[in-house]
Amino acid sequence: MPCSFCTPWSSPTCSSRIIKKNGLTANAKQRYRCKDCGLQFITDYSYLGRLEAIRSLVVPLTLNGCGIRDTARVLLISPATVLKILRAAAAQVSEPEPPDRIRDLELDEFWSFVGSKKSPRWTWYGLDRQRPQVVAFVQGRRTDESGRVLKSKLGRVWVRAYRTDQWPTYARFFPRRRHHTSKEGTCRIERNHLNFRTRVKRRQRRPICYSRSADMHDAVIKLYVHHFNAQQHQL
């Protein structure tokens, strides 16, 4: 004989079907409570931000030139929901793991800001010329400290040739005999800057869209790097 509490619904948390009715919401929608985990929930949400089909579009839109408010307007959800989804997505992906050997590693940095131009935020990264993939990246100021962190992220990777511009930080941290400075040597990474600025709206030049917090700025860049590497791996 079926349990008197069983319903066609199940708890979103524990998947238990021992559910009982638990009154009505302010919008006169039936509310349920799980007898196992105690979760209260409804089954007919009006807010689109609760639908997985809508939530799954937030990251693709962000990585294809939409800002936070653009995404919120298109999907008819709140900017706070967009921010929450992006932070959660960034927390689930890991930074790239450099390979053991790299034939030609191009290194460069490019500028953005957080809040105002008085708070610059530089992205330093290394691009494997042969693959091509971003093998390491750092967010910070344009100082020797950022260069030191980038070098440490490369770890014990054997690199035959480091190719950079003439910014003096690179000369301080990379072996002189394998360090080459020329515009020709960094043509691919310079071209890849355009990918960043096209796909990530807060990276565009003369933007009206910019990051208001460093953690959100870094989260979007981390997501883009992960997406870029995954695309290159599929080619």
Cβ proximity of 130 and 113 under 8 Å: no
181 has a pLDDT exceeding 80: yes
pLDDT confidence bin for 35, thresholds 50/70/90: confident
pLDDT confidence bin for 18, thresholds 50/70/90: confident
Strand 158-164's sheet: what is its strand order? 133-140, 116-128, 101-114, 158-164, 179-181
| Average confidence (pLDDT) over 100-106 | 94
pLDDT confidence bin for 2, thresholds 50/70/90: very low
Q: What is the mean pLDDT of the chain?
A: 88
Terminal C-alpha separation, the chain:
56
| Average confidence (pLDDT) over 69-77 | 94
Q: Cα angle vertex 178, ends 174, 182, to 5°? A: 90
pLDDT per residue as tens digits for the range 109-149: 999 999 888 899 999 999 999 988 999 999 999 999 999 99
Q: What is the pLDDT of residue 170?
A: 94
pLDDT per residue as tens digits for the range 190-235: 999 999 988 988 877 776 778 889 999 999 999 999 999 998 876 5
Q: What is the pLDDT of residue 5?
A: 54
The Cα 218–Cα 138 span in angstroms is: 9
- Poorest-confidence range of 25-34, 84-93, 140-149, 154-163? 25-34
| Average confidence (pLDDT) over 165-188 | 92
